[in-house]
C-alpha cells in the first residue's frame, strides 16, 4: 500500500474528492496517510479531521524564503514516508530540494489546459479570469508531475469543458472542478499507486 501525502492551502475540495474516491475503493494500492497545509485554519484541515486523517500545518509565512520552507516540507515528507505526494490546491512553489528528492512522485492539479494559463502567478481564480479575458472557448484541468519549473512537468491526464458566453471566473472554476479536477485527480493517484504510469523521454504514458 502506498502512502499518499496531500498538500493543501485552502478549501480542499480536491482533497475531499481524493478522500471520497479512497472510501469508494477507487484509489487502488494507496491510502491517504497525512495532509499537510501551508496555512492554519483552512477548511481542508477540517476535512482531514472529519475523516481521521493525521494533519500537519507548516505555515509558509513562518519561513523567510522558499528554500527554508521547502526544507521543512521535505523533512515532513520523509518523516511521513511519502510514496506519492499530491498537491491539491497547494499554493506554494516548492524548491528543487523537494522536486529532486521526489522526482516523478509529486502530482499537481492545475485548473487550465497546460501549456495555456500556467506558470508563476497563475493559480486559483486568476487562471479562470485570464482564460475568460483571452476568450478561449474550451478550458479544463491538467494533472501533471511536478518538476523544477512551475507547471512544466510531464502531463498525466487532461480533461476539458466548454466555456459559455456568460461565464464568470467563479462559474468556470466550478464547472472545471466538478467535471474534471475531482474526477481526474483521484484517477491519476490510483494509476500512480498501481504503477500504471510510465515515463519515456520525459513524457508520461498510461500503461494498458
Ligand atoms: C483548484 O481549482 C486547483 O486546481 C487550483 O486551486 C483550486 C484549489 O481548490 N490550484 C492551482 O491553481 C494550483 N496552481 P481546492 O482547495 O478546493 O481543492
Sign of CA dihedral 198, 199, 201, 204: positive
Which residue range(s) make up the domain with 151?
A: 2-206
Among 124, 125, 176, say which to mutate for ligand 1: greatest number of ligand atoms within 8 Å of CB.
124
Provide the annotated active-site residues.
110
Checking phi first, is residue 137 left (phi over 0); if not, alpha (psi -120 to 50) or beta? Answer: alpha
Q: Indicate which CATH number applies to the domain containing 151.
A: 3.40.50.170
Count: domains in the chain: 1
**What is the SS3 assignment for 90?**
coil
Ligand 1 pocket residues where CB is under 6 Å: 10-14, 44, 88-89, 109-111, 123-124, 127, 177, 181
Separation of first and last alpha carbons in the chain: 21
Please report the atom of ligand 1 found closest to the CA of residue 126.
Answer: 12
Low-confidence ranges of the chain (pLDDT < 50): none
- Report the candidate in 4, 2, 10 with the shortest Cα–Cα distance to residue 177: 10
pLDDT at 208: 83
Amino acid at each position: 500500500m502506498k502512502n499518499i501525502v496531500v498538500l493543501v492551502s485552502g478549501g480542499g475540495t480536491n482533497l475531499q474528492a481524493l478522500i471520497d474516491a479512497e472510501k469508494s475503493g477507487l484509489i487502488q494500492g494507496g491510502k491517504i496517510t497525512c495532509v499537510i497545509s501551508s496555512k492554519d485554519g483552512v477548511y481542508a484541515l477540517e476535512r482531514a479531521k472529519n475523516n481521521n486523517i493525521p494533519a500537519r500545518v507548516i505555515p509558509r509565512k513562518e519561513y523567510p524564503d522558499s528554500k527554508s520552507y521547502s526544507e521543512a516540507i521535505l523533512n515532513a515528507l520523509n518523516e511521513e514516508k511519502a510514496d506519492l505526494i499530491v498537491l491539491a490546491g497547494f499554493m506554494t512553489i516548492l524548491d528543487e530540494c523537494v522536486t529532486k528528492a521526489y522526482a516523478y512522485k509529486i502530482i499537481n492539479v492545475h485548473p487550465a489546459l497546460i501549456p495555456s494559463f500556467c506558470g508563476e502567478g497563475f493559480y486559483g481564480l486568476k487562471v479562470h479570469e485570464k482564460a475568460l479575458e483571452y476568450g478561449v472557448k474550451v478550458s479544463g484541468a491538467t494533472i501533471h508531475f511536478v518538476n523544477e519549473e512551475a507547471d512544466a512537468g510531464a502531463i498525466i491526464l487532461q480533461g476539458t469543458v466548454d466555456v459559455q458566453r456568460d461565464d464568470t471566473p467563479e462559474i468556470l472554476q466550478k464547472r472545471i472542478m466538478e467535471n474534471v479536477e475531482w474526477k481526474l485527480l483521484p484517477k491519476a493517484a490510483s494509476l500512480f499507486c498501481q504503477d500504471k504510469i510510465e515515463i519515456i523521454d520525459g513524457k508520461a504514458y498510461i500503461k494498458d
